[in-house]
Structure 1
């Protein structure tokens, strides 16, 4: 079955015309996006659902797969067909459908509060790299359709594609997609104690176990105990994965 750019767009979020009132939303937002990309050095791009293209692409090399930002911007959605691992292209199309189906059930006034996150492989010089992709609405039409969305790309902390989750800003709730049962499951974020957060903060600053023990006035064995409990709570296997998890889930 052949695939093309139109497969990423659905009638429920096809943006035909933009009113003058809706256009007012755009004042200076590209300059703000560029500034955010510069200070964070994050891989950022913006999707325009009316024109079905990429309106902005940052210079961070992670997403570019050897191309320049201008080349990726020019390719738009064709970039996915060139640079996404073949097995993951079907996954992307499915996630796109799932995301819009989910957003359609949310009150229009709340849609900007939601972010969808998932993992897939990009091919960088023929080598697959598993990345995490987060997408959140920037601007909506008056009817609540997503007009423009910001996407942020980072290295994934997982080992396989998928891992589809949706988060709502300001809440402890998230939804994960069960690919076996083909349904969304409402869950709650991991809750960490203040002492566990202290351990993570010091790890993030580069302190060793003994140095952390001195900082929080406990033994090294106690720090190891906290670390082990953190790994169990977050279902990760090392401190790098733990730090990535708490950052991605806005726990630290």
Structure 2
């Protein structure tokens, strides 16, 4: 098995230099804002500092951090990945990191703050491992590169590992990279109509297909056909994943 170090996560795509300590005096409000978000969300949030190559802040909600405290995760920084991502997936994580930031750096600087990167990876938790969805978006840019990145972790809604998505906020277009095919591809979502949005919303509320059909004044067969269409449109494996994608990409 190949041995990796923290430095394997960095290259010219994400190494940041020449930031003085005074720049860090202005980010306390960011920490407080993230902690406020944590209180109203079941996601885990943390901030990557590409200049110091560590974690600048970790929210006190370490559900998906291997059972460790926020203080311990912050202390470990990038060592967390080396210890808690399964050995067979560390190379995948490093490749995702490099290829996604390489593409991100080619975007116009004024567009970069509107994008986020999303992918699945396993995290070890005691004697088992869980598949999580990891998302990253820039908090602070420096010379066009990400200096500080806000990251969030939540349960994955599909079993795919090795595919990374790059999506622009409020856009119906997304691009994804498959490590297996080693190429970027574009994928476009269709705009949802009112019935499709309502079917999603009633499903989120836990209504059955029969109850949903009554709410939207359609037959159960029609609702099932619409759900199948939505699965295909979102390239989702199940309706839970479709709901996740519709929420993630702000389609509702």
TM-score (norm 1): 0.91
Distance 1:119 1:207 in 2: 28
Q: 1:24: Cα distance to partner?
A: 7.3
Q: 1:189: Cα distance to partner?
A: 2.3
Distance 1:67 1:41 in 2: 16
Change (3 A) 1:104 1:231: closer
Q: What secondary structure sits across from 2:64 in the alignment?
A: helix
What's the counterpart of residue 217 of structure 1? 217
Q: 1:236: Cα distance to partner?
A: 3.2
Say whether the 8 Å CA contact 1:166–1:175 is kept in structure 2: yes
Change (3 A) 1:190 1:179: farther
Distance 2:31 2:154 in 1: 21
Number of positions where the alignment pairs a residue of Structure 1 with one of Structure 2: 251
Q: 1:251: Cα distance to partner?
A: 1.5
Say whether the 8 Å CA contact 2:122–2:131 is kept in structure 1: yes
What's the counterpart of residue 163 of structure 2? 163
2:184 is equivalent to residue 184 of structure 1:
yes
What's the counterpart of residue 121 of structure 1? 122
Choose 18-27 or 235-244, whichever is displaced more.
Answer: 18-27
Distance 2:70 2:249 in 1: 28
Q: 1:184: Cα distance to partner?
A: 1.0
Say whether the 8 Å CA contact 1:167–1:175 is kept in structure 2: yes
Stretches of structure 2 that go unaligned for 5 or more consecutive residues are: none
Q: What secondary structure sits across from 1:207 in the alignment?
A: coil
What's the counterpart of residue 205 of structure 2? 205
Summarize deviations over 1:118-162 as a string: whole Å, max 9, x none.
111111113121111101110012x12211000011111121312
Distance 2:106 2:148 in 1: 19
Choose 213-222 or 41-50, whichever is displaced more.
Answer: 213-222
Say whether the 8 Å CA contact 2:133–2:154 is kept in structure 1: yes
Summarize deviations over 1:21-68 as a string: whole Å, max 9, x none.
955762511111110111123211110111111111123233220211
Summarize deviations over 1:90-129 as a string: whole Å, max 9, x none.
0111111112211221122221111111111111113121
Q: What secondary structure sits across from 2:4 in the alignment?
A: coil
Distance 2:10 2:223 in 1: 49
What's the counterpart of residue 76 of structure 1? 77
Summarize deviations over 1:175-197 as a string: whole Å, max 9, x none.
11133431211221243322111
Report the RMSD for the aligned CA atoms in angstroms: 2.0
Q: 1:203: Cα distance to partner?
A: 1.2
What's the counterpart of residue 92 of structure 1? 93
TM-score (norm 2): 0.91
Change (3 A) 1:34 1:233: same
Say whether the 8 Å CA contact 1:62–1:153 is kept in structure 2: no
**Hey, which bits of structure 1, 4+ residues long, moved more than 6 A?**
none
Distance 2:228 2:35 in 1: 40
